[in-house]
């Protein structure tokens, strides 16, 4: 049976309750009998009654995933990456998100400064968990300074409400040298430990500094000695938390171990990898998955030649994986190229911030073999577009070689390499994967309306 709802119609209410966003909608349609109010494009109001299974969807698709405007950030954080971007990029890259709903939906981190008491109540009512919180410090005055918001210290009290309601949380600390490190960091970790295990993890990531910092708060990069001291503090804290609460709780991101020249912790130390999107345990998990997948393969003598281009952070590890592969596949020759980030500055070493123009400039004179393999986090989610708007097909045409986008797991990497002989024809083949950018958020929805526009409606 069709409801005769058309693109452009607007959902007004469900069971007499007005709809603010997707969470109201999902919560209210879980009855066996629902009444929905629709405003037609000509202004007519329709009341429709629907009988269904209790947990069955009624098939509405909305032009905006949240059914509401995205909430932008009201802070001016000293470490904000978006403030460090050059002009002239696509507009969505300059959108500063601080929306708790996107924390639940997409894993984004929120400062709590943009949340009302009603927002907290809705999180508790709908059990929107985990909520990812950008803490930085539990020192109220220092937090006001770092976020450049006089309410930032007071916002920390909202963590107490979430804790009392049992809402699962993850915390993030963007470490800035001379601000929230040292004794301030120790105090912050001690304070946050009091929320465990409801707060299931806290990550510590180094501030990302691009070459576009003119006029911004003066921040310095961390040194190898800084990284060694940070890891020592984290490991000591993990020992205490393991003894007291059976969890490691605090985790240093991969950058710290690479900067310090230390091996990554064992897989069990990451407590199930709750902070992969923050680069915590990403390379350890990738190795686990790759080795496990490789052990299941019989090996062969097929001739394969290809190049993998990635960020300078991951390149040595990918090269090590390829050496493992080539011992089982002696006919395979894989070159791993570390791409220098000329666009944002050489201090930016993650693959997710590499642009198409840097790839082209540094690869165009190389013998790349039969194809070029790139990690999927270089691309905008669900699209074949790099940060600078170059497309995968444009890069493929410029280099004169097929470009293959590789999924995020170690198994994806292995299978992409083994599939190289089948990739020799055409101008490039792209696989699509759900990706999230670390340290940056890009608004990707096609709309920003305050009301929900129905694009497709039917009864399943």
How far apart CA 124 and CA 104 sit, in angstroms, is: 12
User: How confident is residue 400, by pLDDT bands cut at 50, 70 and 90?
Assistant: very high
User: How confident is residue 311, by pLDDT bands cut at 50, 70 and 90?
Assistant: very high
How much is the pLDDT for 94? 54
How far apart CA 25 and CA 457 sit, in angstroms, is: 14
Q: What is the mean pLDDT of residues 151-165?
A: 95
**Residues 139, 146 contacting (CB under 8 angstroms):** no
- Range with lowest mean pLDDT among 99-113, 168-182, 221-235, 334-348: 99-113
How much is the pLDDT for 65? 54
Q: What is the mean pLDDT of residues 415-440?
A: 51
Q: What is the mean pLDDT of residues 134-154?
A: 95
How far apart CA 331 and CA 318 sit, in angstroms, is: 18
At residue 443, does pLDDT exceed 80?
no
User: How confident is residue 56, by pLDDT bands cut at 50, 70 and 90?
Assistant: confident
Q: What is the mean pLDDT of residues 297-313?
A: 93
Q: Regarding predicted confidence, which is higher, 191 or 426?
A: 191
Q: Most confidently modeled of 100-104, 106-110, 236-240, 296-300?
A: 236-240
Residue 104's φ and ψ, nearest 5 degrees, are -75, -45
At residue 1, does pLDDT exceed 60?
no
Residue 427 — left, alpha, or beta (φ > 0 → left; ψ -120 to 50 → alpha)?
alpha
Domains in the chain with CATH codes: 9-58 (no CATH), 82-280 (3.80.30.10), 286-423 (3.40.50)
Q: What is the mean pLDDT of residues 17-24?
A: 73
In this prediction the pTM is 0.79
Picking from 414, 403, 398, the residue whose alpha carbon sits closest to that of residue 378 is: 403
Q: What is the mean pLDDT of residues 324-331?
A: 94
Q: What is the mean pLDDT of residues 162-183?
A: 96
User: How confident is residue 338, by pLDDT bands cut at 50, 70 and 90?
Assistant: very high
The string of DSSP letters for 293-338 reads HHHT-------EEEEEEEETTTHHHHHHHHHHHHHH-TTEEEEEEE
User: How confident is residue 18, by pLDDT bands cut at 50, 70 and 90?
Assistant: confident
How far apart CA 400 and CA 322 sit, in angstroms, is: 24
- Range with lowest mean pLDDT among 53-57, 124-128, 135-139: 53-57
User: How confident is residue 71, by pLDDT bands cut at 50, 70 and 90?
Assistant: low
How far apart CA 355 and CA 378 sit, in angstroms, is: 7
């Amino acid at each position: 049976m069709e409801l005769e709802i058309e693109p452009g119609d607007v959902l007004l209410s469900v069971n007499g309750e007005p709809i603010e966003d997707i969470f109201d909608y999902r919560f209210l349609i879980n009855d066996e009998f629902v009444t929905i109010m629709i405003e037609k494009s000509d202004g007519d109001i329709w009341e429709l009654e629907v009988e269904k299974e209790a947990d069955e969807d009624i098939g509405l698709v909305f032009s905006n995933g949240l059914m509401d405007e995205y909430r932008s950030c009201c802070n001016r954080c000293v470490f904000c990456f978006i403030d460090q971007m050059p002009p002239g990029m696509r507009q969505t890259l300059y959108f500063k998100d601080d929306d708790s709903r996107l924390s639940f939906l997409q894993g984004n981190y929120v400062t709590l400064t943009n949340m009302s008491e009603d927002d907290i109540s809705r999180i508790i009512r709908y059990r929107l968990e985990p909520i990812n919180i950008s803490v930085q410090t539990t020192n109220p005055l220092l937090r006001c300074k770092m976020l450049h918001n006089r309410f930032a210290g007071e916002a920390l009290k909202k963590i107490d409400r979430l804790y009392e309601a049992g809402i699962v949380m993850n915390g993030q600390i963007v470490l800035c040298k001379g601000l929230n490190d040292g004794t301030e960091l120790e105090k912050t970790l001690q304070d946050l430990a009091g929320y465990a295990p409801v707060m299931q993890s806290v990550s510590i990531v180094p501030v990302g500094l691009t070459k576009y910092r003119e006029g911004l708060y003066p921040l310095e990069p961390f040194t190898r000695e800084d990284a060694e001291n940070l890891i020592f503090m984290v490991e000591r804290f993990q020992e205490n938390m393991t003894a007291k609460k059976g969890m490691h709780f605090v985790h240093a991101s991969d950058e710290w171990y690479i900067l310090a020249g230390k091996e990554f912790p064992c897989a069990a130390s990451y407590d199930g990898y709750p902070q992969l999107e923050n680069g915590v345990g990403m390379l350890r998990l990738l190795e686990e998955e790759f080795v496990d997948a490789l052990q299941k393969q019989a090996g062969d003598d097929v001739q394969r030649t290809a190049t993998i281009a990635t960020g300078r952070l991951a390149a040595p590890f990918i090269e090590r994986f390829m050496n493992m592969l080539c011992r089982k596949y002696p006919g395979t020759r894989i070159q791993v190229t570390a791409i220098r980030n000329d666009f944002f500055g050489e201090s930016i070493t993650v693959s997710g911030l590499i642009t198409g123009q840097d790839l082209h400039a540094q690869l165009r004179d190389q013998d790349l073999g039969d194809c070029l393999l790139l990690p999927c986090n270089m691309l905008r989610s669900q699209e074949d577009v790099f940060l600078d708007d170059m497309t995968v097909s444009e890069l493929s045409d410029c280099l004169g070689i097929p470009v293959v986008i590789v999924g995020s797991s170690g198994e994806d990497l292995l299978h992409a390499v083994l599939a190289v002989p089948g990739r020799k024809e055409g101008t490039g083949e792209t696989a699509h994967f759900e990706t999230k950018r670390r340290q940056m958020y890009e608004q990707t929805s096609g709309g920003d309306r305050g009301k929900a526009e129905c694009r497709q409606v039917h009864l399943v």
